[in-house]
Structure 1
Amino acid sequence: MTDSDLSPRPDTTTRPPLLSSPVRAWTLLLLVFLAVHFAALFTPALLDDADATHAQAAQHIALTGDWVTLYVNGIRYLEKPPLPYWMAAVDYHLFGFNVFATHLPMSLAVLACAILAWFWARRAWGDRAAFYAALAILTSLGIFLYTRFFIPESLLTFFLALALYCFFTGIEDRKPARFYLAYGSLAIALLAKGLIAPVFFVAAIVPYLAITGDWRRWREFRLFTGLLLFLAIGAPWHILAGLRNPDHGNPVGNVPTPGHVHGFFYFYFVNEHFLRFLGKRYPHDYNKQPWFAFWLGQLVWLFPWSLFLPVAIRRAWRNRRIFASDLRYDSTNTIQYLDPKLSAWEASTMAARLRFRARTSLLLLLYAGFILIFFAISTNQEYYTWPAWFAILLLTAGSLSAIEEAPESAPGRVTGSSRWLTGAQAFFAFIGIVSAAALAYGLWTSRHLPYVHDIGTLLAHRAVGNYSLSTSHFFDLTGPSFAALRLPAALAAIALFLGPLVAWRLRRRGHSFESTVTVAFTAAVFLVAAHLAFARFQPMLSSRAMADTINHITAEPGQQNAQVILYGDQANGSSIIFYTRRQALLVNGRTTSMIWGSDYPDAPHIFLDDADLESTWGTGERKFLFVPADFHDHVKSLLGSRLHELQEVSDKTLYTDRPLN
């Protein structure tokens, strides 16, 4: 017997009370969102590197009212489209300049993704799938991890998925107004992340229309007026940015020089999109994961829901012929669904739902598949495939719910799919026990070590991927670092030991819904523990403490005009610039995101070399010098006894050029 859900059999399983009404389901889902995502908005402080760098761009908008050209530390920052920075700037006016205001749009986009997943899955598969899809969005490891800092992936994912859903249902329901919602959402996605939004949309829709034959209805798609709407929303900022940031001098090739620099149109469209895809962007300050790490990473970022991927793939393969027959409207005869218990209307409704389900699966497969292949070829970061996770989780939730609701999945019956699910959760239980044991060992071996607030002093500095990957610091953990992670490690150990075992036991007893929910709640508790641990890394990952020191000193009379200097790239101490709201001088810092904007003729003179630092140190107003660990010895040899140390945090040191009074 197959476990196909595509044949019209009645559901003989008991409906879980939690799914008896959307209010009950969403009460629990909102509690999960509040515990996992909303509670994590307040700590840690903004991180150095991309997090605070992007926050600076939004801060500049809020302080100056310039909503067209992004600036970081007074230098043009033309790499990114503006939507995330606009949203954060609005938040700054409402909530002040803080981490909550900065990250709120990203977390709300996660909630929006969960809501959209619920509506889409509910129509395609039913209430159980809707609940699973929303719960998966809220409890997947990658989605949580990559909303801990200021990147636009959650915004891109929501608006791009919304565009797909509106276009798809516009075709299915023959409602032209939804096409306009699709084009508008796609334009907003363009403003969130750039040209990959329309590329991903077209790459999914065009083959979908070709396979289903719906391309023949192209006149219904409102292509001309839809394109006008898309351009009306998406084009104005691009045009204004190009006009305000033109070419200067006589730029040659892709490497700018002072006074000779390509303007916005070349830099944004050619350098940041086309050449980045080819791995030839300048400057080359990015990385590409090894192929095995890229593909294995997808399973990690989708965890724990990736546990159910094998059975979902197995089921899709076994039902491929039924799936194919339901794609076209003229391929399924409603008569085959008629039986004495069903009216003609009920049979027709069932046939339409199965077609919607099959077409949803096709569209999401095309969408996720293209994104994964695209970034497997292109340069990539771990979180670039975020939009594909939405589709994969939706498909997994639908397949899992269909298997659990099939008549042969009733308690007491053993099928191939139920064995696969039980095996997957047995594997999860094994992983949980091993992980809990490892955490317990770390806690035991560090039991006599004192608690250290600055965990950075306990970490190795292995520089995996030269810290260009977002997870590089994970590999710096050492045994003694558990002394600073006792509470989150203990919480994670308990969750990983008990949760998977309980879920496995429930699955074996036929309580499939309760088992799946237990897996999700285990993940939720683990993510809460992960955030507690992440907050302990604040001294290492953020320079907020040093910014507070500078703010305290400069609040004193006569110190207001003190100058902040960062040694090296501004990203190393970008949170200092954000929290002090002071433009920093950069010593040997004309690198990475600063290079292109620094070559504009009107760029401020903030770039120094060692000779400039040596000659200005100790003159004029008080100066603060932030020095990362890599430059300690060099700076000490350069300035020697003229350095007055104020603070050292996780191998980062803050100096001043004169004693404090």
Structure 2
Amino acid sequence: MSAAGINLSETPRKALAPLTYLMLAALCLFAFIPGISTLPPTDRDESRFVQATKQMVETGDYVDIRFQDVPRYKKPAGIYWLQSAAVLVSGQGSEAPIWVYRLISVLAATFSVLALTVIGSRMFGPSAGLIAGLGLMGILMLGFEARIAKTDATLLATALLAQGSLAAIYLGHKAGRPQGRANWLFWFAQGLALLIKGPVIPFLSLLTIAALVIFDRDRGWLRKLRPFTGLLLTLLVAAPWLVLITIKTGSEFWQESVGKDLLSKVGSGQESHGFPPGYYFLTYSVFMWPFALVALEGGLKALRRFREDPRLLFCLAWYLPYWIAIEAIPTKLPHYALPAYPAMILLMAWTLTDASAATVELARWQQWLRKVCAFGMFGISIGLAAIAFGITPYFLGYVSWWGLLAALLVLIAARYGIGAPDDMDPVKRIAFAAAAAAAAFGVLTTKVLPPLKPVWLSPEIAQRFEKLKPCPTSRLISAGYGEPSLVFLAGTQTLLTDGAGAAAALTADPACGIAVVGAAESQHFLAAVPGGADALKEIGSIEGMNYSKGEPRALTFYTLAR
């Protein structure tokens, strides 16, 4: 491929002012911090991550990863180390609240926004960079992942570090510009990514490189990657922990992480998350809301122009092969697509700021696809607004004015994200939409969702346990309710069991034992207690919904009668 259609050496290179980045970072904190202290621990992934980190701090063992006594070797230790560092810095130790663990995701999401701003500025100019950063800040997927203490916001940060370095090498070669230490940064990012979530980002980068090699005959840039010394750097970053965990567990870590987790996701739908191809195509508009439509338009136009513009080729090589790959893998979760979304946001920035993009005519099938996306975005926006307004009346029976405000913010974000007056400056348009979306997420996670006590059963159980426990040293015995968030909130020694197990544990500790039993296990529990119901004292009950399963739950607290 030649760059005959565009002279990359003449593309805008003016950097944004440092003050702009400071303001953008402050805006990210406004976007991502609200809700991290008010939203209870979510089930199930987040609570498993934070509980494993909590146990690292409790035991001082930062190599072995466990949820209670069960090894948790599906993911490497990187995210647990980062969360442990936040906990230790907080000075609260294992008693640190959930928001301390979530700070890592907030900071990673902020870094990701700033990184995409830099990448967009270098590829398409300062205005495009600002649009790209604001666009990433405002999408629904990152608005959620930035508030949750698990791997995906941090993984996105490593993806942008790796892909931004790869873009600098490839496009710098096309423009005849030296790229300094971009190759070392690329391989360093791969090592970090391996420590966070294994081979996901190396796989993304490999697919990007393969697509560039296929569609661009100029392959001289590959030498600038310095793969042999680069791979050594990657190993230097990732290998020490891999060696330590292998020494500690033998082959168990590799069997669990590669044999059971990775290969089972590739071979079959894991943990009831199997869906046929097309899942990410259908959910794109939801998780890229409110910018799915304009980003899609940028992607469709790029398909018509990529042979004459290496920048567009790079963005498509970033997105399309990875999208096809995750569509082909049976196990599907929404966050799997997150590392590829920045490529579409860059194409959104290009189509909004490059005058030549306005001259690109879409093919008939592209026009129909755009119309389908526009219809979907309209429906999704109405649906999100309806949920924001209606969730409180549904669960609590009264109208929340905060819910109404969130719904109005959703509609404002949709108005500017889907379309705006033609004469409106595109940076202002995206900023309005992103700020409204961020404000809507903030209102939802601080004022609308936290008061829904029937939904948040684990906090209710843990609070009731603290009030009802017979002894300061009592541990909670739970039968019929086994969500990981309960272990994080009620203590590592919490026993998750069935009715018979709860009866045995309660009778083994007659003075201090306390059990909470779900209706489904109640009969088994009563039958297993010596003396039956007459030997028990019912001291409280809770009703609500287990949202992770979508089931109503009724739970009763018991101690032994004295």
* TM-score (ref. length: structure 1): 0.71
**TM superposition shift of 1:133:** 0.7
Structure 2 match to 1:236:
240
- Cα 1:314–1:223 change in 2 (3 A) is closer
C-alpha offsets along residues 56-80 of structure 1, whole Å, 9 cap, x if unaligned?
1101111222111101112221111
**TM superposition shift of 1:638:** 5.2
C-alpha offsets along residues 547-597 of structure 1, whole Å, 9 cap, x if unaligned?
23334555x7xx233232222574x2x233223333233324xxxxxxxxx
Q: Secondary structure at the match of 1:536?
A: coil
Q: How does 1:377-388 map to 2 (within 5 A)?
A: 377-378=328-329, 379-388=331-340
**TM superposition shift of 1:153:** 1.1
C-alpha offsets along residues 175-229 of structure 1, whole Å, 9 cap, x if unaligned?
4632111111111001111122222221212332453345345443322221111
Structure 1 match to 2:461:
546
Structure 1 match to 2:156:
157
- Cα 1:27–1:267 change in 2 (3 A) is closer
Q: How does 1:198-347 map to 2 (within 5 A)?
A: 198-246=202-250, 263-279=252-268, 285-318=271-304, 320=305, 323-325=306-308
Taking the aligned partners of 2:122 and 2:15, their CA distance within structure 1 comes to 16
Structure 1 match to 2:442:
528
Q: Does 1:561 align with 2:467?
A: no
Structure 2 match to 1:141:
140
Identify which range, 297-306 or 622-631, moves more after superposition. 622-631
| Cα contact 1:484–1:536 (8 A) shared by 2 | no
Q: Could you list the runs of 5+ residues in structure 1 that have no partner in the other structure?
A: 12-18, 248-262, 326-357, 410-414, 444-476, 589-609
**TM superposition shift of 1:408:** 8.4
**TM superposition shift of 1:40:** 2.2
| Cα contact 2:152–2:335 (8 A) shared by 1 | yes
**Equivalent of residue 656 in structure 1, options 535, 546, 558:** 558
- Cα 1:109–1:212 change in 2 (3 A) is same
Structure 2 match to 1:578:
488
Q: Does 1:392 align with 2:347?
A: no
- Cα 1:290–1:212 change in 2 (3 A) is closer
Structure 1 match to 2:183:
179
Q: Secondary structure at the match of 1:363?
A: helix
Taking the aligned partners of 1:276 and 1:504, their CA distance within structure 2 comes to 35
Taking the aligned partners of 2:74 and 2:373, their CA distance within structure 1 comes to 44
| Cα contact 2:392–2:448 (8 A) shared by 1 | no
Taking the aligned partners of 1:643 and 1:82, their CA distance within structure 2 comes to 44
- Cα 1:627–1:35 change in 2 (3 A) is farther
| Cα contact 2:477–2:505 (8 A) shared by 1 | no
**Equivalent of residue 617 in structure 1, options 500, 503, 506:** 506
**Equivalent of residue 538 in structure 2, options 638, 644, 656:** 644
Q: Secondary structure at the match of 1:655?
A: strand
- The amino acid across from 1:277 in the alignment is V
- The amino acid across from 1:146 in the alignment is E
- Cα 1:627–1:200 change in 2 (3 A) is farther
- The amino acid across from 1:534 in the alignment is L
Identify which range, 91-100 or 500-509, moves more after superposition. 500-509
C-alpha offsets along residues 32-83 of structure 1, whole Å, 9 cap, x if unaligned?
3222201222111222422222111101111222111101112221111111
- The amino acid across from 1:275 in the alignment is S
Q: Could you list the runs of 5+ residues in structure 2 that have no partner in the other structure?
A: 545-552
Taking the aligned partners of 1:429 and 1:207, their CA distance within structure 2 comes to 30
Q: Secondary structure at the match of 1:578?
A: helix
| Cα contact 1:425–1:500 (8 A) shared by 2 | no
C-alpha offsets along residues 259-288 of structure 1, whole Å, 9 cap, x if unaligned?
xxxx222222221112221017xxx52412
Q: Secondary structure at the match of 1:645?
A: strand
Taking the aligned partners of 2:161 and 2:186, their CA distance within structure 1 comes to 7
| Cα contact 2:291–2:417 (8 A) shared by 1 | no
| Cα contact 2:277–2:327 (8 A) shared by 1 | yes
Greater C-alpha Rg: 1
**TM superposition shift of 1:659:** 5.7
- The amino acid across from 2:485 in the alignment is S
**TM superposition shift of 1:155:** 1.2
**TM superposition shift of 1:389:** 1.3
Q: How does 1:450-489 map to 2 (within 5 A)?
A: 480-481=394-395, 483=397, 486-489=400-403
**Equivalent of residue 363 in structure 1, options 307, 311, 314:** 314
| Cα contact 1:58–1:85 (8 A) shared by 2 | yes
Taking the aligned partners of 1:194 and 1:77, their CA distance within structure 2 comes to 14
* TM-score (ref. length: structure 2): 0.82
Q: Secondary structure at the match of 2:240?
A: helix
C-alpha offsets along residues 75-125 of structure 1, whole Å, 9 cap, x if unaligned?
221111111111111111122321111111111111111011100100111
Taking the aligned partners of 2:335 and 2:381, their CA distance within structure 1 comes to 28
| Cα contact 2:32–2:438 (8 A) shared by 1 | no
Greater RCO (Cα-Cα under 8 Å, separation 6 or more): 1
Taking the aligned partners of 2:109 and 2:307, their CA distance within structure 1 comes to 32
Taking the aligned partners of 2:346 and 2:225, their CA distance within structure 1 comes to 25
C-alpha offsets along residues 285-322 of structure 1, whole Å, 9 cap, x if unaligned?
2412354543221111001111213432443244x2xx
| Cα contact 1:308–1:424 (8 A) shared by 2 | no
Taking the aligned partners of 2:528 and 2:245, their CA distance within structure 1 comes to 41
- The amino acid across from 2:557 in the alignment is Y
Identify which range, 491-500 or 39-48, moves more after superposition. 491-500
Q: Secondary structure at the match of 2:332?
A: coil
**TM superposition shift of 1:503:** 7.8
**TM superposition shift of 1:142:** 1.3
| Cα contact 1:137–1:393 (8 A) shared by 2 | yes
C-alpha offsets along residues 346-381 of structure 1, whole Å, 9 cap, x if unaligned?
xxxxxxxxxxxx333322322222222222121111
Structure 2 match to 1:374:
325
Taking the aligned partners of 1:202 and 1:21, their CA distance within structure 2 comes to 30
Percent sequence identity over matched residues?
Answer: 19
Q: Secondary structure at the match of 2:455?
A: helix
Structure 2 match to 1:252:
none
| Cα contact 2:286–2:380 (8 A) shared by 1 | no
Structure 2 match to 1:401:
353
Taking the aligned partners of 2:349 and 2:206, their CA distance within structure 1 comes to 25
- The amino acid across from 1:181 in the alignment is L
- Cα 1:230–1:484 change in 2 (3 A) is farther
Structure 2 match to 1:516:
430
Structure 1 match to 2:550:
none
